[in-house]
Amino acid sequence: MTVDGANLAGEIPVPVRERVLGPTYRWVSVGMFTLVFLAAFEAMAVTAVMPAVAADLDGRSLYALAFAGPLAVSVIGMIVAGNAADRGGPRLALYTSVALFVAGLLIAGTATGMWQLVIGRLVHGLGGGGLTVALYVIVARVIPAALQPSLFAGFAAAWVVPSLVGPFISGVVADSVGWEWVFLGVVGLVVPALAMVVPSLRRMSMDAAEQRPPWRISRIAWATLAGVAVLVLNLSSEASGWAGWALPLAAVVVMAVAVRPMVPRDTLRGARGLPATVLTRATLSGAFFGAQVCTCRCSSLASPTS
């Protein structure tokens, strides 16, 4: 039998097993989970208020773009943040991503027109993408390898829970104090969550002898091109005449070309191993977010106020 890591005789100390929510890693784990949860909340939970937002701002033509835009630009944020973390550690990547995330929320929460809301969504989508990658790097550098699966499982839950309870919470907030606070209210939660992570960042140190990899400009450019193609694809629904079919076709071709350099070789044909894993996850994510948007869009069209 042991008491506080030692046997009753007090002769041989028995090491206490570390846990993600143990004294050593409790605050950084809770802080990182909260940041992932808030990013997921803004990506999915706003589906409940988007019909009201589109009606209030007279922006149904930009409805799809308001959903797809953040996801499209998040890829750019992921690649830039990953490259920055490789070069100088995750601190700057995390702080910059959080700043963009908060700025986007403020822009969207104070929007007086649909275009301002879309711009805010794009900015916080960019920050949300970078935020996710920066946190993954922090896990690798701060959390022991034996505890990392538990924390990654928590990150997965942080994406699932908002899809279950987020629409209800955002709907209640919108009905009580207005849809603006679905964005503005999150800002007040980001700051304490980041504060929980900062002490662990200060304890990290970069190996001075470690060679910094160069900026992967080509990969960032491909990600930007893919994001722009997604935005054009969503805007093309408002085009008429030949542009109504030429723009979507061109956007799909550009996306197919731009994605190839950003994924493992043979991903598009589902080769065994990592390529098949990436393709499967991409397909599942596309189906998941597509179902979210379609469901909310159908409810908007069926609404008596639409």
Q: What is the CATH number of the domain that holds 196?
A: 1.20.1250.20
Residues with Cβ within 8 Å of 183's Cβ and at least 6 positions away in sequence, in order, are 42, 46, 105, 106, 108, 109, 120
Looking at the domain assignment, is residue 156 inside a domain?
A: yes
Domain that holds residue 174: 25-215
End-to-end CA distance of the chain: 67
Which token pair is 29? 């784990």
pLDDT of residue 283: 83
Distance in angstroms (rounded) separating the CA atoms of residues 142 and 81? 18
**Would residue 104 count as lying in a domain?**
yes
pLDDT at 123 (0 to 100): 94
Q: How many CB atoms neighbour CB 19 within 10 A?
A: 13
Instruction: Report the domain count for the chain.
Output: 1
Q: What is the C-alpha separation between 100 and 231, in angstroms, rounded?
A: 19
* Three-point CA angle 84, 152, 286, nearest 5°: 80
Q: Round the average pLDDT of the chain to a whole number and report it.
A: 81
Structure tokens at 54: 């589109």
In a domain, residue 159? The reply is yes
Query: Per the domain annotation, does 239 fall within a domain?
Result: no
Q: What is the pLDDT of residues 277-304, one digit of tens each?
A: 888 877 877 776 666 656 555 544 444 4
For residue 83, tell me if it sits in a domain.
Answer: yes
Share of the chain above pLDDT 90, in %: 25
Residue from 122, 32, 133, 36 nearest 80 by CA: 133
Q: How far apart are CA 162 and CA 153, in angstroms?
A: 15
Residue 301 within any structural domain of the chain: no
Q: Nearest Cα to 126, choosing from 178, 73, 179?
A: 73
pLDDT band at 231 (very low <50, low <70, confident <90, very high): confident
Within 10 A of 129 (CB to CB), how many other CB atoms are there?
Answer: 30
Residues near 119 by beta carbon (within 8 Å), at least 6 away in sequence: 107
- Residue of 48 and 176 predicted with greater confidence: 176
**CA 122 – CA 296 distance, rounded (Å):** 19
